[in-house]
Amino acid sequence: MLNHYSFVFVTTLILNLSAENSNTGKMVYLPNGVYHPFFKNSDDFDSIRLQAFYMDVLPVTNGDFLDFLKKHPRWQKNSVKPIFADSLYLKALSSHNLSEQPEKELIQSPLTYVSWFASKDYCECQGKRLPTTAEWEYAAQAGESEPVSSENSPLFRRILFWYSQPTVFPLPKTGSAPPNYWGIHDLHGLIFEWVADFNSALFSNDSRTKGGLESSLFCGSGNVSVTDLKNYAAYIRYAFRSSLKASYSISNLGFRCVKDLPLQGGKI
């Protein structure tokens, strides 16, 4: 059972541990750009113009979130309202004995078993927000050396390879894999991530019969709306997102935050 004291103890410890990772709390700048949605309905736009924004270099870690829980106890497992997080919420954290010194790896592992509501509030409490699907995909289409991976990029093979591996718990620590072109780590190959409009594929049409989920994502008509047939990796992400509800807390689903540019000048 979690209690407040263990969180205080643990989070004190974390601040020391996580300080060792220079990327903690760091964001990078992504310039104005255009994202061509992989998956879209017939009346959607072919491309989406994106304003420049900042994105977290790392997904939110267990350590980050324990710190957040200390300041915002309403999100602790015992306090959170069921409509905001299902019963699996923070399962990976609560299964550890937090009165003992947590493993450094656990602290630096990505947070999972977290609901959309909790993720959204976490970002907002930092003066940030969850990325949109377009922003997330825009950042995630970069390879290690180019902002937009080509169709035959090894990136897609790596993502598919990740699907072919069993999930190892606890999850590896964040920032272990090389960053992409923008300097962002772990967009692929570690966890899935919440986006603000995770259910947009489901609700982008008023009528489900016209272009909704059933007719687009499932057997029989699944290829009509796919702009790049070979991009199975993205297909799986879109499918995964559309299986979610905002209260879900899942073993391999976490998040990171983004931030808009200041309206006039200044630095973040």
Partner 1 sequence: MEIRGEETALLTDAPVVPPPIARKHATKVIVHLEVREVMKEITDGVQYMFWTFGGSVPGKFIRIREGDMVEFHLKNHPDNKLAHNIDLHAVSGQGGGAAATFTAPGHESIFSFRAINPGLFVYHCASAPVGMHIANGMYGLILVEPLEGLPKVDKEFYVMQGEFYTSGKYGQKGLQPFSQDKAIEENADYVVFNGAVNALTGDKSLQVNVGETVRLYLGNGGPNLVSSFHVIGEIFDLVYTEGGNRPNQTNVQTTLIPAGGSSVVEFKVDVPATYILVDHSIFRTFNKEALGMLKAEGKEDKTVYSGRLEDKLYTP
User: Which residues lie closer than 8 Å to 149 by C-beta, 6 or more apart?
Assistant: 141, 142, 143, 155, 156
How large is the greatest C-alpha to C-alpha distance in the chain, in angstroms?
55
Least distance (Å) between residue 109 CB and partner 1: 15
Site string for partner 1, 50-89 (x = CB under 8 A): --------------------------------------x-
Asked whether position 172 contacts partner 1 by CB under 8 A, the answer is: no
Which of these, 65, 29, 25, lies nearest to 260 by C-alpha position? 29
Nearer to partner 1, 61 or 216 (CB): 216
Asked whether position 90 contacts partner 1 by CB under 8 A, the answer is: no
Least distance (Å) between residue 214 CB and partner 1: 4
Write out the binding residues for partner 1, residues 196-225 only, by CB under 8 A: 213-214, 217-220, 222
DSSP character at residue 35? E
Nearer to partner 1, 35 or 116 (CB): 116
Distance (Å, whole) CA 253 – CA 248: 9
Site string for partner 1, 143-162 (x = CB under 8 A): -----------------xx-
Nearer to partner 1, 144 or 214 (CB): 214
Distance (Å, whole) CA 118 – CA 208: 29
How many CA atoms does the CB half-sphere of 46 hold within 13 Å? Answer: 2
Q: Is 164 exposed, middle or buried (0-12, 13-18, 19+ CB in 10 A)?
A: exposed
Q: Is 143 exposed, middle or buried (0-12, 13-18, 19+ CB in 10 A)?
A: middle
* Cβ pair 171, 191 in contact under 8 A: yes
Chain-centroid distance of CA 131 in Å reads 8
Least distance (Å) between residue 67 CB and partner 1: 25
Task: Tell which one of 148, 239, 246, 261 touches partner 1 (CB under 8 A).
Answer: 239
- Give the range of 14-22, 28-36, 43-51, 240-248 binding partner 1 by CB under 8 A: 240-248
Task: Tell which one of 84, 182, 240, 246 touches partner 1 (CB under 8 A).
Answer: 240
Distance (Å, whole) CA 68 – CA 3: 14
Judged by CB under 8 A, the number of residues near partner 1 is 32
Q: What are the residues binding partner 1 (CB under 8 A)?
A: 88, 160-161, 163-167, 169, 213-214, 217-220, 222, 230, 232, 235-236, 238-240, 242-245, 248-252
